[in-house]
């Protein structure tokens, strides 16, 4: 069957349920990831003054390669599935676009070839491809991870194994997942004396997506490692604390309520986005993109989000306090009026970030 995306016509496998969603019935295509791809096109358009070449390392139907070629990029793509390779070639050709599609393991290709932008979109964890991707990517690395349960600590051992960090299943699980992933990506880049700086990140439906700007240099890489650290969290009263260090010094007991605490790390504690970059991407998302309005809304929220490495759930706090929660806008105004920084987050309508601790939040709003 043919689907329309970004003004292009893409052939995808037909299944009993419509387009294939990785159900094992042929080459993968997930219509739900259109937002992810629309934002990728926004990123590619926003950086086209510094980038010309793009690698779609796991191409499946070729949809990312097609969309990048349409945005003016010189594209290459890989897949280990010969049916995917045939389909990706057909999709480039039927849209009148050029691009090389290799029937090859992405890591083997990336060890041998450089590209300005490298995009990893695997099934599950991107970890097996990250070292090769850092070697291959000249300027930007784009990564999707769909293994959110290991990343956020719900599948603890698998998270520890894959990411070399201790994830904890807190109520800010989306933020935890993102920061465990960013920690692994920053450390992987540092192994090659490369600084990886996250310029845009979002956690949407069942995946984490992040874009990192790369800069070669041992000092720059050291500077990024300085932003890794540990986070202590009280599951009972939601108190938390974080410290940028590679030597953990965990708090045993919550200073607020006395409960024993959980420690996660090393996680990324620096900014997960660059607001000016996110604004540029927002402007560069094409009007004709299927999710243009939704993508721009998401990007506006991300741009305004504080850099705090954790978020709170407003309903969860009020439930603990036994009080009804007010509207989010009113609640954030009360925090700001008390002198704290506060923002919404893109993780959901009831989530927010603030530099205030849990006791100060209560004082400000109750």
Ligand X SMILES: C[S@@+](CC[C@H](N)C(=O)[O-])C[C@H]1O[C@@H](n2cnc3c(N)ncnc32)[C@H](O)[C@@H]1O
Q: Which of residues 114-153 bind ligand X (CB under 6 A)?
A: 121-123
Sign of CA dihedral 148, 152, 156, 159: positive
257 binds Zn ion, rule: CB under 5 A: yes
38 binds ligand X, rule: CB under 6 A: no
Q: Which of residues 58-77 bind ligand X (CB under 6 A)?
A: 58-61, 63-64
* Three-state SS sequence of 107-161: HHHHHHCCEEEEEECCCCCCHHHHHHHHHHEEEEEEEEECCHHHHHCCCHHHHHH
Answer for which of 2, 23, 216, 259 binds Zn ion (CB under 5 A) is 259
Tell me the closest approach of the beta carbon of residue 359 to Zn ion, in angstroms.
10
Residue 234 contact partner, candidates ligand X, Zn ion, none, CB within 5 to 8 A by sort of partner: Zn ion
Residue 291 contacts residue 38 (beta carbons within 8 Å): yes
Stretch that binds Zn ion, among 51-59, 180-188, 249-257, 328-336 (CB under 5 A): 249-257
String of contacts with ligand X for each residue 6-35, x by CB under 6 A: ----------------------xxx--x--
What letter would DSSP give residue 88?
H
Q: Which is nearer to ligand X, 86 or 215 (CB)?
A: 86
Tokens 């007991």 -> residue: 253
Stretch that binds ligand X, among 54-62, 232-240, 274-282, 291-299 (CB under 6 A): 54-62
**Residues contacting ligand X: total by CB under 6 A:** 21
**In this structure, what token pair is assigned to residue 170?**
């807190």
Pairing of the two strands 100-103 and 74-79: parallel
Strand partners, 353: 343
**In this structure, what token pair is assigned to residue 19?**
């387009």
204 binds ligand X, rule: CB under 6 A: no
Residue 254 contact partner, candidates ligand X, Zn ion, none, CB within 5 to 8 A by sort of partner: Zn ion
Q: Which is nearer to Zn ion, 237 or 328 (CB)?
A: 237
* Distance from the Cα of residue 85 to its chain's centroid: 26
105 binds ligand X, rule: CB under 6 A: yes
Residue 239 contact partner, candidates Zn ion, ligand X, none, CB within 5 to 8 A by sort of partner: Zn ion
Q: Reduced to 3 DSSP states, what percent helix, strand and coil does the chain have, rounded to the nearest 5?
A: 40, 25, 35
Residue 78 contact partner, candidates ligand X, Zn ion, none, CB within 5 to 8 A by sort of partner: ligand X
Residue 328 contacts residue 352 (beta carbons within 8 Å): yes
């Amino acid at each position: 069957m043919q689907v329309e995306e970004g003004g292009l016509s893409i052939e995808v496998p037909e299944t009993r349920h419509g387009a294939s969603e990785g159900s094992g019935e042929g080459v993968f295509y997930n219509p739900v990831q259109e937002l992810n791809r629309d934002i990728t096109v926004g990123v590619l358009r926003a950086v086209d003054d510094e980038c010309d070449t793009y690698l779609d390392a796991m191409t499946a139907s070729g949809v990312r390669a097609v969309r990048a070629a349409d945005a003016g990029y010189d594209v290459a793509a890989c897949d280990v599935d010969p049916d995917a390779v045939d389909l990706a070639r057909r999709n480039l050709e039927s849209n009148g676009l050029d691009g090389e599609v290799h029937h090859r393991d992405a890591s083997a290709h990336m060890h041998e070839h450089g590209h300005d932008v490298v995009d990893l979109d695997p099934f599950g964890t991107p970890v097996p491809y990250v070292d090769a991707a850092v070697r291959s990517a000249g300027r930007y690395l784009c990564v999707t991870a769909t293994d959110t349960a290991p990343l956020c600590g719900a599948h603890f051992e698998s998270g520890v194994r894959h990411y070399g960090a201790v994830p904890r299943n807190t109520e800010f699980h989306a933020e935890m997942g993102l920061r465990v992933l960013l920690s692994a990506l920053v450390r992987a880049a540092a192994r090659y004396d490369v600084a990886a700086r996250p310029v845009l990140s979002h956690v949407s439906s069942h995946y984490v997506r992040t874009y990192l700007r790369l800069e070669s240099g041992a000092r720059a890489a050291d500077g990024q490692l300085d932003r890794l650290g540990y986070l202590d969290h009280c599951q009972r009263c939601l108190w938390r604390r974080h410290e940028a260090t590679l030597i953990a010094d965990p708090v045993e007991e919550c200073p607020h309520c006395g409960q024993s605490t959980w420690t996660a790390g090393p996680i990324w504690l620096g900014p997960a986005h660059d607001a000016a970059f996110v604004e540029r991407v927002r402007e560069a998302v094409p009007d004709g993109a299927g999710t243009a309005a939704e993508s721009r809304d998401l990007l506006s929220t991300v741009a305004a989000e504080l850099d705090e490495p954790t978020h709170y759930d407003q309903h969860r706090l009020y439930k603990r306090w036994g009080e009804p929660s007010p509207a989010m806008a009113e609640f954030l105004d009360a925090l700001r009026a008390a002198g704290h920084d506060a923002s919404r987050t893109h993780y959901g309508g009831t989530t927010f970030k603030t530099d205030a601790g849990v006791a100060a939040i209560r004082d400000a709003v109750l």
